[in-house]
Amino acid sequence: MASVTFDHVTKQFGKVTALRDVNLHIEDREFLVLVGPSGCGKTTALRLIAGLEDPTRGNILIDGKVINDVPPKDRDVAMVFQSYALYPHMTVFDNMAFGLRLRKVPKQEIRRRVMEAAEMLGIVDLLDRYPRQLSGGQRQRVAVGRAIVRQPKVFLFDEPLSNLDAKLRVQTRAELSKLHKRLQTTFIYVTHDQVEAMTMADRIAVMNEGVIQQVDTPQKVYDEPANLFVAGFIGSPSMNFFPARLRQEEGRLYVDAGAFAVEVPQERHALYAPYVGRRVIFGLRPEHMYHPDFAPKGIQGQPVEGRVDIIEPMGSEKYVYFRTGEHAFVARVDPRSDYRLGEQGVVLFDMSRMHLFDPDTEKAIR
The percent of the chain in helix, strand and coil, each rounded to the nearest 5, is 30, 35, 35
Q: What is the rounded CA–CA span in Å between residue 113 and residue 17?
A: 41
Looking at domain 4-233, what is its CATH homologous superfamily?
Answer: P-loop containing nucleotide triphosphate hydrolases (3.40.50.300)
Q: Where are the domains of the chain?
A: 4-233, 240-357
Burial 338-350 (b: 16+ CB within 10 A, else e): ebeeeeebebbbb
Residue 232 DSSP SS3: helix
pLDDT at 163: 75
- Provide the angle, in degrees to the nearest 10, between the axes of the packed helices 136-148 and 107-121: 140
Q: Using an 8 Å Cβ cutoff, are 18 and 40 in contact? A: no
Query: Do 4-233 and 240-357 show the same overall fold?
Result: no
pLDDT at 44: 96
Encode the chain (366 residues) as per-residue pLDDT tens digits: 689 999 999 999 999 999 999 999 999 999 999 999 999 999 999 999 999 999 999 999 999 999 999 999 899 999 888 777 889 999 999 999 998 998 899 999 999 999 988 988 889 999 999 999 998 888 888 988 888 898 899 999 998 887 777 787 888 888 889 889 988 999 999 999 888 999 999 999 999 999 999 999 999 999 999 999 999 999 989 999 999 999 999 889 999 999 999 999 999 999 999 999 999 999 999 999 999 999 998 888 999 999 999 999 999 999 999 999 999 999 999 999 999 999 999 999 999 999 999 999 999 998
β-bridge pairing 31-35 and 203-208: parallel
Q: What is the rounded CA–CA span in Å between residue 299 and residue 230?
A: 25
Q: Using an 8 Å Cβ cutoff, are 148 and 183 in contact? A: yes
β-bridge pairing 289-290 and 154-158: unpaired
Cα 132–136–140 angle (5° rounding)? 100
Q: What is the rounded CA–CA span in Å between residue 175 and residue 145?
A: 12
pLDDT at 1: 61
Burial 186-205 (b: 16+ CB within 10 A, else e): bbbbbbbbbebbbebbebbb
Preceding peptide of 237 cis, ω within 30°? yes
Phi, psi of 12 (to 5 degrees): -120, 140
pLDDT at 256: 97
DSSP-assigned letters across all residues of 59-75: EEEETTEE-TTS-GGGS
Q: What is the rounded CA–CA span in Å between residue 186 and residue 165?
A: 27
Burial-class residue 88 by CB neighbours within 10 Å (0-12, 13-18, 19+). Answer: exposed
Residue 10 DSSP SS3: strand
**Amino acid (one-letter) located at 112:** R
Q: Report whether CATH 2.40.50.140 matches the domain 240-357.
A: yes
Q: Note the pTM of the prediction, 2 decimals.
A: 0.89
Q: Using an 8 Å Cβ cutoff, are 264 and 254 in contact? A: yes
Contacts of 143 (CB under 8 A, 6+ apart): 80, 81, 84, 85, 86, 160
Q: Starting from the edge strand earliest in sequence, which strands make up the sheet with 355-357, in order?
A: 261-263, 252-256, 240-249, 279-284, 355-357
